[in-house]
Amino acid sequence: MNCFKKLALATAVSSVVGIAGCGGSSGGSSSDSNTASGETISGTATAPAGTVAHWQEPGLMEVAVNFLVSPAAAAITGLQPVQGANVELIRVDDDGNQIGNILATTSTSISGDYTLTLPEGVNLAGNLVVRITGQNNQQLRAQVVEKDVDISPVSEFVLRKFIETGANLDQLVVTDVVKLSGKVEEYDLTKVSGQNLDAMFTSLENEVGTFIENDVVAISAQGAATASIAGSYINTAFAFALHDTDGNGYGTYAHDTWIDRFTFTAGDTGTVNVNFTTSDSAYANLHGTALDQAMVYYEVDSEQLSESFEGSYTTAGVLSVEGEFEEDLDTDSGFGWRWPGQSYIFQQVSGQGMFIGLNHEAGVRYELTDTDNDGQDDALDPNARSGDEVARTLEIFIRQPTSLTPADVQGDYGRVYLSALLEDGYLELMTETNLVEFTGTFEATGAAGTSHELMVNSNGAAAYTTNPFSADTTSTPIPIAADGSIDFGDGVVGQANESGSFIDFTETDGCNAGSLGCGQSEAGFDKTLLVKLPSTQLDLLGKKYRLMFMAMHLDGGGTNNMVLSATRFNTYMNMTSDSAGTISGTVSELEKPTGLGSDLVSVTGAISEQAFTISVAPNGSTTVTIPSDQAGEETVFEGYFNEDGSLGVFTTGYVEAGGDRDELGLAVLIDVTP
């Protein structure tokens, strides 16, 4: 059986297996933050062949010293030590520009090594940089935050991420930057390559850009008091996931969903103590060489836990939890997994006890090896890479109320819905939007709405349909408890927030062929979000929203191309009027170009001031239209803003010329206007 490891925040932070000699900084420790003027720093400079001035093809003697290249740099295809390069010590501003004069200089040796003495009055800092300059004035820089400072495309990439995020470089805690630099080495960078720096930075962006960006966001902001966010929380999640087997023609399409329970207690400024108590989850995949021939696997799990860890909370309303490097072995399947540590980050909704995140997760699968020659595989073989496992997960933390009443849940709500159905050789995605009215007695009726359905059948052909659905005027009782929890039974559960203005529903069902009462393997996953609607026209002019968007593209025609798209955390929609705005940020795409069995291809696209139009009705009903560079095609969001415009929830679709949709998903907008 090929089955994903659950890539939950809770798993990442509470089930860590430490690996001796794996990961970590290339030198130094947190104590190095005390390095002062007069002491020396040292490191190795590496770059793509021909990038840096004075570099030349190594001779036989130089090949003998190539083992000095740091492990992270050595993992990148095409890097070589830089000999005879001028290394300059400088200060930079928050845009990366040099401030003042060059503070000190030295040169790299035959093996790319250098040493440099810190001048009087100069100590370690996030804005202290060593720099080498190559052809066409291309630069490689590294922040001097410890004694051992390697200069490479990775160090330059990390510095650029701090600059892009708008960090105050001179205010960064050097030990945080040291830890981030060490975490980079935990990633499998064997796919990173490039004949020049531009190509290498593009490759790094595709492979690890999301994870580095999340860590940079968590490090860069100032801590806030955490008493206001203490309480009992429900964490709900819905994930798209893909897996490949390197060059083997076998892969997996999967969904994961869970409802976990946490308690937040206040710590010192910027610190929140998190206790993880319960997890209920469901997972299913379609696995095989082609989607129309794939088989379904389905499982559910429930755990009682008592795991504690630390999170951080900033003045920007960002909650982050740091996951550690993890290694798992499954001797039954013959594989092991490495999951690099990353920061899981969530944006608070308008000062409420409610946080939403769209987390990008990835692991690398390896074959196992027998290290003690006893005939049993007992360790992961890092030289036997087997495949990639990736997921995009929309997670919502909802603080539970203590005395919710029917009067708190009444009026008009906007509903968005995404469902997935998996059967052997068959995949279906469907979205719906409509209004729901709560009568004030925990009962509701549903208005008419519209559905969009995208499917790939057993012949490998894709089909799209859109249908209006009728109103449901029968009043349905909603079993909402005083703590906001909802349980219909049969796998349908939900949670309302403290004010009753937001409700989240999750539904799962499935079975494996051969189990009791199951004739054919199948699995279904449903996610519903409801927001209480405004009573007057919203004023959106000047608003800035953080955009969280994820969607799956499906093709027919025999290839069954699959593309999982998702925005990164620093993607924004800026309202230039009540009817228009621009998008800026980054979208990552994970593609299986020739169907389920093909290898994953990672592509990252920067969005720079992409124009969109928006129509918002007085009741908050909203349509966002984002033009495509393909004539007659566009991305459409259909959904609703809540009563004060602080949160919007939407279904999404990519509309082809002629009106069909070949992609469906969900989007969330959170007001982060300064």
Structure tokens at 538: 């919203």
Q: Output 39 or 108, whichever has higher pLDDT.
A: 108
Residue 400 has pLDDT above 50, yes or no: yes
Residue 281 has pLDDT above 70, yes or no: yes
Any idea how long the chain is?
Answer: 674
Residue 460 has pLDDT above 90, yes or no: no
Residue ranges per domain, the chain? 24-185, 227-671
Enclosing H/E stretch for 62: helix 60-63
H and E: helices and strands count for the chain: 6, 36
| Residues in CB range of 130: below 8 A, 6 or more apart | 41, 43, 87, 88, 89, 90, 116, 141, 142, 144, 149, 151
* Residue 214, SS3 per DSSP: helix
Strand partners, 257: 238, 282
The pLDDT-based confidence of 69 (bands split at 50, 70, 90) is: very low
Q: What is 271-339 written as a DSSP string?
A: EEEEEEEEEEEEEEEEEESSGGG-EEEEEEEEEEEEEEEEEEEBTTSEEEEEPPPEEEEETTTTEEEEE
Q: What is the pLDDT of residue 557?
A: 66
For 479, phi and psi rounded to 5 degrees? -75, 75
Q: Output 1 or 277, whichever has higher pLDDT.
A: 277
Residue 287 has pLDDT above 90, yes or no: yes
| Residues in CB range of 584: below 8 A, 6 or more apart | 571, 572, 574, 607, 608, 609, 610
When mean pLDDT is compared across 266-280, 312-326, 535-549, the lowest value belongs to 312-326
pLDDT cut 90: percent of the chain above it: 56
The pLDDT-based confidence of 3 (bands split at 50, 70, 90) is: very low
Q: What is the pLDDT of residue 515?
A: 85
Instruction: Tell me the average pLDDT across 278-282.
Output: 95
Spatial distance between the Cα atoms of 116 and 108, rounded to a whole number of angstroms: 10
Residue 610 has pLDDT above 90, yes or no: yes
pLDDT digits (tens, 9 = 90+) for 199-239: 777 777 777 777 777 777 777 777 889 999 999 999 999 99
Residue 546 has pLDDT above 90, yes or no: yes
Q: Output 61 or 579, whichever has higher pLDDT.
A: 579
Residue 653 has pLDDT above 80, yes or no: yes
Q: In terms of Cα–Cα distance, which of 303, 300, 256 is closest to 276?
A: 303
CATH code given to domain 24-185:
2.60.40.1120
Per-chain mean pLDDT for the chain: 85
Instruction: Tell me the average pLDDT across 366-374.
Output: 90
pLDDT digits (tens, 9 = 90+) for 244-278: 999 899 999 999 999 999 999 999 998 999 999 99
Residue 55 has pLDDT above 50, yes or no: no
Q: In terms of Cα–Cα distance, which of 94, 90, 89, 96 is closest to 43?
A: 89
Q: Output 269 or 652, whichever has higher pLDDT.
A: 652
pLDDT digits (tens, 9 = 90+) for 335-360: 998 887 778 899 999 889 999 999 99
Residue 6 has pLDDT above 50, yes or no: no
The pLDDT-based confidence of 62 (bands split at 50, 70, 90) is: very low
Q: Name the CA radius of gyration of the chain, rounded.
A: 26
